[in-house]
Amino acid sequence: MQVVKYVFQPHGDERGQLVALEEFRDIPFKIKRVYYMYDTKQGVTRGFHAHKSLEQILICIHGGCKVLLDNGYEKKVVPLEKPYEGLYVSNNMWREMFDFTSDAVLMVLASEVYDENDYIRDYEEFKKNVEDTNEH
C-alpha cells in the first residue's frame, strides 16, 4: 500500500510560518468541508470506519497523533506531527486515529459534506466492499 503524504510549502519569514491550502492546487479535490478535533483524551482511538466515496487530507496542525490505514489487505501506521504535512486518505480505506498528544489538533479537509450514509462502520462489511470492488 502506498501512503500518500503531502508536504505543503510554508511561507516563512522572520515573523514565523504560514501555510496556505488551495483546492486543486495543494489539495487534490474540491474542499467541501473542514473539521478538526482537539482535546482528545489520552488513550483514545477514534475512527474505526471507512468511507464509500469521501476523500480527505488529515493535517495535525498542532501536536501529534498516529493514523492506522488499512486497505483491506495491508495496514500501515503513519505518524502525523508536522503542521505542514498532510495525509491523503482515499475512499474504501479503514482508518483509526490514536496516540494523540494532549495538545493535538487534527484538522481534516474533506471532499464532501457530512453524510452518515457514506460511512462503513462494520469491518466485515468493509472487507466485503473492498473484495467486491476489486472483482469488478
Give residue 91's region: left, alpha or beta (phi > 0; psi -120 to 50): beta
- CB closer to ligand T46, 17 vs 53: 53
Instruction: Indicate which single residue of 65, 107, 108, 109 sits in contact with ligand T46 (rule: CB under 6 A).
Output: 108
111 touches ligand T46 by CB under 6 A: no
Grid cell at residue 19: 501555510
Least distance in angstroms from the C-beta of 128 to ligand T46: 20
Residue numbers 32-51 binding ligand T46 by CB under 6 A: 33, 35, 37, 46-47
Residues designated catalytic: 49
CA-CA distances (angstroms) from residue 76 to 70, 93, 96, 99, 108?
7, 11, 11, 15, 19
Q: How far apart are CA 39 and CA 17, in angstroms?
A: 24
How many residues sit in the footprint of ligand T46 (CB under 6 A)?
10
Region binding ligand T46 by CB under 6 A among candidate stretches 1-9, 18-26, 31-39, 72-80: 31-39
Q: How far apart are CA 120 and CA 22, in angstroms?
A: 29
Grid cell at residue 34: 473542514
114 touches ligand T46 by CB under 6 A: yes
60 touches ligand T46 by CB under 6 A: no
18 CB burial (10 A radius; 0-12, 13-18, 19+): exposed
Which parts of this chain interact with ligand T46 (CB under 6 A)? 33, 35, 37, 46-47, 56, 95, 97, 108, 114
